[in-house]
Amino acid sequence: MQLTDAAIGELQFLRKLQCLLAEGEFVATYKFALLNALADLSLEREPEADGSLHLPVSAVAEKFIEYYWPQARPYRGVDGTSYVLHQSTGRQAAIVNTILAAQAVHATLPVARAAKLRWHTLVTKVAGTIVSMPLWKLQTVGGERDEFLYREAEFADEAIRLLPGVPAAFRALYGLVLDAVRGAWLRQITTIAQNRPVLRDADLASFLFGSQRASLDGFRAVLRDHQGGRCLYCAKELRGGGCVDHFVAWSRYPVDLGHNLVLAHDACNAQKRDFLAYPPHLERWQQSHLERAGELAQRFDSLALPHDGERSRAVAWWAYEQGEAAGAHAWIDADRFVRLDGGWRDVLRGLPRVAEPPRPRY
């Protein structure tokens, strides 16, 4: 096998990430949240022409709130009592305390987000902690700083800049990065002394990071109505409840956002599994969920369900781009598949084409 320059760049990127995860000096779990945020934002935002990505710390802070919100919920320990898991050795992590205070006021994350002024205050507070804690420590390993993701010297107007090639590497390696980051996050939680006596192994991952189809029932009625009672894939009438399906599969991008959810027959959903849907399905989703994104958003809002049309569109773009590059098979129906070609690009119109940025160089 001959490795291309791009592949070698990606391997070096992974090696450096692995080093951060294994050896970075942290008492809190912030570095995992920070890496998770940088990976997610690389998918959801379009890079500059030179392959760099401008990221306001407030955007990173919103991600932190998203990750820690469910994690700050009471965890039922082995003794049946509820605990807030420690995210730091010693005292509880400051961001968890900030989120606990917000949870005392707002029942759910979408409700908190809708309270604009308080949300802004919450984001600003979390952003302050990120700047004073993990942002400048992340890239220090063994007392040595290796600024391969972003540079402290470029920090301006409360924003960082991911270096050219870094967003592309996160996009290409997203699944691997996420598994590595979340695996390391979970291990740190299990080693924190205060957590050890209460943890039950079996369900910790799903408690921390959510599990597929955990609470999607709330979306069913909205989607049923929006799709006119028909399956998004085969367009035939849905009898019974139908199954809420992640259009871009949960295994590729594990976030529950309204616009990425569709209603389908149990059989259609089971046959599609984790595959990408072939371009005619993508077109139906585009027409149903993106062109009428505002309509859907209003319905989701009225039920305080999480959604973000732009983000779902960007994630679909990323998933199909990666799928095409990898020669993925896209699902048609039953057990029929087709090799994904560039045709999907014509379907996802309205999204500016993301130019292939330069690969990382070290």
Binding region for Zn ion (CB under 5 A) = 231, 233-234, 265, 268
Q: Which is nearer to Zn ion, 135 or 231 (CB)?
A: 231
Give least dist CB 265 to Zn ion, A: 4
Give least dist CB 238 to Zn ion, A: 8
Query: What are the helix (H) ranges across 55-115?
Result: 57-71, 94-105, 109-114
Query: Which residues are CB-neighbours of 281 under 8 A, at least 6 positions away?
Result: 232, 233, 331
Pull the structure tokens for residue 5. Answer: 């320059």
Give least dist CB 280 to Zn ion, A: 13
Give least dist CB 85 to Zn ion, A: 40
Give least dist CB 159 to Zn ion, A: 44
Strand locations in the chain, DSSP E?
A: 53-56, 75-76, 82-83, 140-141, 144-145, 159-162, 243-246, 261-264, 276-277, 329-333, 336-339
Q: What is the rounded CA–CA span in Å between residue 92 and residue 85?
A: 9
Cα angle for residues 159, 164, 168 (degrees, 5° grid): 105
The answer to whether residues 300 and 278 touch, using CB atoms and an 8 Å cutoff, is no
The answer to whether residues 262 and 228 touch, using CB atoms and an 8 Å cutoff, is no
Give least dist CB 349 to Zn ion, A: 25
Q: Which is nearer to Zn ion, 198 or 234 (CB)?
A: 234
Q: Which is nearer to Zn ion, 174 or 247 (CB)?
A: 247
Pull the structure tokens for residue 179. Answer: 């598994």
Q: Which is nearer to Zn ion, 184 or 262 (CB)?
A: 262
Q: Which is nearer to Zn ion, 265 or 307 (CB)?
A: 265
Cα angle for residues 245, 308, 183 (degrees, 5° grid): 65
Give least dist CB 235 to Zn ion, A: 7
Q: What is the rounded CA–CA span in Å between residue 332 and residue 345?
A: 17
Q: Which is nearer to Zn ion, 233 or 278 (CB)?
A: 233
Residue 171's Cα: distance from chain center in Å? 12
Q: 140: number of CA atoms within 13 Å, CB side?
A: 10
Closest residue to Zn ion: CB criterion? 231
Q: Which is nearer to Zn ion, 15 or 236 (CB)?
A: 236
